[in-house]
Amino acid sequence: MSRGMPRLPRPLMDLWDWQSQAACRDVNPELFFSPESERGVRKRAREMVAKSLCGTCPVQPECRQHALSVGEPYGVWGGTTESERDNDLPEQRKSA
């Protein structure tokens, strides 16, 4: 264990700074989050539009990593839907 000054946590701004470059910053969040009653073709169409915007986003890797690391249960993040993230990391999601 090191002596001297205790380690301070990283500034929170560093953790969230990537969001300032998000392509979806000024987009209605309803594009990324499904209404409870949404199903089938309508849901897939909305997700496809959201994912196409993610495809242009300069911080897609950071966004996706955030969603995976916190186990975001809803919405399109980093070009992935909730079910795609479930498939990516089923073991990590179960143990969170």
Asked whether 34 and 46 are in contact (CB, 8 A), the reply is: yes
Determine the size of the site formed for ligand SF4 (CB under 6 A): 14
**Of these, 46, 60, 81, 82, which contacts ligand SF4 (CB under 6 A)?**
60
Whether 76 contacts 45, CB under 8 Å: no
Place of tokens 């089938």: 40
Position 31 contacts ligand SF4 (CB under 6 A): no
Closer to ligand SF4 at the Cβ: 46 or 78?
A: 78
Which conformational region is residue 4 in: left (phi greater than 0), alpha (psi within -120 to 50 degrees), or beta? Answer: left
Q: Does 63 bind ligand SF4 (CB under 6 A)?
A: yes
Binding residues: 24, 54, 57, 63
